[in-house]
């Protein structure tokens, strides 16, 4: 299973961004053996 989280942009409040990364970190700590998590900037333009 591939998980592609969509992170909040700089338009969001710092609290929203912190909550997102805390949730992502918790997910990784608890389930890292079951899933692959790819982190990248999928919206980057070249």
In a domain, 42, yes or no: no
Low-confidence residues in the chain, pLDDT < 70: 1-5, 31-32, 37-46
- The neighbour count for residue 1, using CB atoms within 10 Å, is 7
Give residue 20's domain range.
2-37
In a domain, 45, yes or no: no
* pTM score: 0.57
In a domain, 7, yes or no: yes
Count the domains in the chain.
1
CA distance 23 to 37: 13
Q: Which residue bears the tokens 């805390």?
A: 22
What are all long-range contacts of 27-30, with beta carbons under 8 Å and residues at least 24 apart?
27/3
How confident is the model at residue 3, as a pLDDT? Answer: 62
In a domain, 26, yes or no: yes
In a domain, 12, yes or no: yes
């Amino acid at each position: 299973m591939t998980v592609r989280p969509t992170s909040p942009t700089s338009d969001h409040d710092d609290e929203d961004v912190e909550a997102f990364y805390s949730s992502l970190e918790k997910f990784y700590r608890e389930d890292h053996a079951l899933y692959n998590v790819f982190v990248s900037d999928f919206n980057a333009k070249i």
